[in-house]
Chains A and B, each alone.
Chain A
Amino acid sequence: MATVYVNDKAVDIGDERLNCIQAAERAGVTIPHYCWHAALSVVASCRMCLVEVGERKVDEKGQVAIAMQPKVVPGCQTPVKDGMVIRTADAKAKDAQERTLESILLNHPLDCPVCDKAGECLLQDFSFQFGKAESRMVDEKNTPPNKPDLGPNVGLFTDRCIMCSRCVRFTREVSGTAELHVVNRGSHSEIDVFEGHPLANKLATNVVDLCPVGALSSKDFLYSQRVWNLKTVNSVCSGCSTGCSILVDSNKDIVYRLRPRFNPRAQGHFMCDEGRLGYHHVNDSARLGQYLVRGEQGTKAVEWAQAAGLCREKLAAEASKDPGRVWFVFSPSMTVEEAWLLANFAQKLSPFVKLVMGPVGVVGEDDTYPKDRKGRPAQPVKFTIRAEKAANLRGVRGILNHFQKDRATYQQFLAAAKSGQVDACLIAAGQSPQVYKPSVEEGDALSAVRFVAVQQLFSSPLTDRAHLVIPASAFSEIEGTLVNHAGLAQATKAACAPSRGLRTDGQFFLELLERKGLVHAANLRKEIAKAVPAFKPLEVGDLGEYGVFCEKLKEQS
């Protein structure tokens, strides 16, 4: 057991291999740093993490002697060992921090009012905590021209850059595409791309999160909001079955950006651009905004409770005639809780109604990073964009398997509908248009069905055929559990409220079941864990930051 003393506080680090920054973090001490990042190699180039280190020795008589090294050392590059002493707040270390910051700020334009990073900028934070108020610089600052088109999603404000080279190392080590590099020398160093090779890899926008200052900026988020106005909630990306942990930043029920959230059990530190920019449909004004009933007299908008009542009655009426001809189509994007509630409703009608897994979008093959210079995947894999574009296939499958082992496929359902073997169906919880778009043939297949209820985000060939159109909730509006490719169950929280007059999918299913109350994911998880053995790990209710593994779900098919 190794013990490290950070500012005279003993901290036990076990047998882990840590550097000074990580060890200090365990002791609750922040060592300021720019260039060091847990997912990238160490370069010790920013000099911000300079600390005093020394050794603590106890002789035979039990007397403690501390021998400090004469010079400050970069904390990121210095591994800790048993008996090591780290001092971050003494005169020498403080002096080093102040001088480093003064030097970093020499050429920084201090245009915080127009900089998007202001409010979450490490340069602001550390200047405030560790810096000096005054700069002694009397000469004119370097003002290199901006590079607004570093890549399709990323621009560079060259003058704000502090040359930490995190972005360069990211493209070399994680994406492997190595577009970025440093040109020129000394105080004229600049980040740039090679001629004709823009920063266009699928992980490119991660450099914006990595940038500790406002130099690299996301074109999507540029000038759209000040960060202190945003409300941040923990969520899970619904782009593919990797299920990246994300943060959803919204203001007044409008989502402005998604950011990756560190989760060692899911994806690590990063997320892909497809997922990051895959939120725009949430704010789309073309989304369905009314519960519509389509009859012989035309289309009529109804209140949500009326719509749920109608849906319940119609399905119950058809199920009482012949339950084998009533079908429920589940979406692989819906949460475990929603699937549970809907499956319960189906079972309540009759155990003989048919449950079907909806269409699962598959695009190409799994895309792994890093790549080598020729674009071939390299080992070890650090990030995977999965071909299976379904956020919760394993979770929904786990619920369906609990109720019905032998299930028809979605194609079989369409064939049955075409040949007139379906009397009523509910197609639940639409997927985002990036993930799956229903085709005209799917809509046409439903023309012979007596009652079609369709829950979708946007109008589609399916909703055109529906007798009841139910507006679905987007990923940012729901609370629940999503199970990724490895069986990791993660909690997603609601960032926004559904539009006026609408209810979330889960709430609608509760109304179908005629159950009172609101959707409370933690309680529903306990209920599911009790009833379905495969979901046993969900009994904790609160899944925490990183989620819990449901190993059995991974194996099911």
Chain B
Amino acid sequence: MSQAKPQKVKWVKPPKLGLLEQMYFPTVISGMATTLKHMVGTLTGTGDKNIQVQSYPEERPTLPPHYRGVHRLNRDPEGRVKCVACYMCSTACPAHCIDIVAAPSPWPDREKYPETFVIDELRCIYCGMCEQACPVDAIELTTIFDLTGMSREEMMFDKEKLLSVFDKTVAAGTDPVRTQPGRLGVASLPAGAGLTGSSSAQS
């Protein structure tokens, strides 16, 4: 960074405090007055109507469906993991928190599937790039925001746990919405539509 030239620097003098201001009491009292006003308003119910109070965790907020919370791995109509282990999410991930091990799929209509799929939820920055990179809409960020755990290991979400998040959000009716345009890849087509007759390259 270059230093500004002395003639370009504009010097501003702090305002001089008067006797009353030097005592600080009037400002303290006016601040307290604001606090008291809101306190009375809240207690008597006559205050600002826009202020909402929720008794979390007894009451829980309904977040917008495009909220970026805990990930889920989607299932296809047959209940299998939708992911094709293309590594696009882990390539796009700026935090390098996705670890995938691919393998030839056990199903005749698909070629590749994730043997393991682990997201380090502590390392994740919840940017949603994995969601955007996925060519088959297999990974999505849900509205679950209050993620807690007792250990670091617990926060490494594996395939089963991510699929259980899918089941949980489907049961709760809080499916996320697709937030980006664009077509899905061939690999996302329902069984038999794009890859008829193809089988995995290794039995």
Contacts and interface: CB of A to CB of B under 8 A. Distances in A.
Given A143-B195, A228-B91, A113 B187 contact: yes
A37 interface: no
A222 interface: yes
Contacts of A314: none
Query: Is the contact region of chain B dominated by helix, strand, or loop, or is it mixed?
Result: loop
B198 to A, nearest CB: 5
Contacts of B197: 143-145
B61 interface: no
B118 to A, nearest CB: 15
A146 B136 CA distance: 22
A157 interface: yes
Nearest to B196: A143
Interface centre among A114, A145, A146 (most CB of B within 10 A): A114
Contacts of A109: 186, 194-195
B186 A217 contact: no
Contacts of A223: 85, 102-104, 112
A229 to B, nearest CB: 7
A32 B195 CA distance: 28
Interface string B174-191: 000000000001110000
B198 A226 contact: no
A263 to B, nearest CB: 31
B67 interface: no
Nearest to A109: B186
A389 to B, nearest CB: 30
Contacts of B86: 113-114, 226
A111 B102 contact: no
Interface string A119-143: 0000000000000000000000101
Contacts of B187: 111, 113-114
Chain A, interface size: which category?
A: 20 to 34
Nearest to B134: A113
Interface in B75-109: 84-88, 91, 102-104
Given A146-B199, A157-B198, A111 B186 contact: yes
A297 interface: no
A498 interface: no
A249 interface: no
A157 B87 CA distance: 20
B42 interface: no
B22 interface: no
Given A109-B194, A143-B195, A114 B112 contact: yes
Nearest to A223: B102
B111 interface: yes
B201 A222 contact: yes
B28 to A, nearest CB: 60
Given A111-B195, A113-B135, A143-B198, A222 B185 contact: no
B201 A226 contact: no
Contacts of B196: 143
Contact of B202 (A112, A219, A226): A219
Contact of B87 (A144, A222, A229): A229
Nearest to A110: B186
Nearest to B104: A223
Interface in A171-189: none
B40 to A, nearest CB: 61
B139 to A, nearest CB: 13
A110 B201 CA distance: 17
A155 interface: yes
B30 interface: no
Contacts of A143: 194-198
B54 interface: no
A159 B198 contact: yes
A148 interface: yes
Contacts of A113: 84, 86, 88, 135-136, 185, 187
Contact of A157 (B102, B201, B203): B201
Contacts of A146: 198-201
A63 interface: no
A159 B195 CA distance: 9
Interface in A67-107: none
Which 8 pairs of residues, A with B, have the shortest CB-CB distance? A113-B86, A155-B201, A114-B112, A223-B102, A148-B201, A226-B87, A145-B197, A113-B135
17 contacts: A109-B194, A111-B187, A111-B194, A112-B185, A113-B86, A114-B84, A114-B86, A114-B111, A114-B112, A141-B194, A145-B199, A146-B199, A155-B202, A222-B104, A223-B112, A226-B91, A228-B91
Interface of A: 109-114, 141, 143-146, 148, 155, 157, 159, 217, 219, 222-224, 226, 228-229
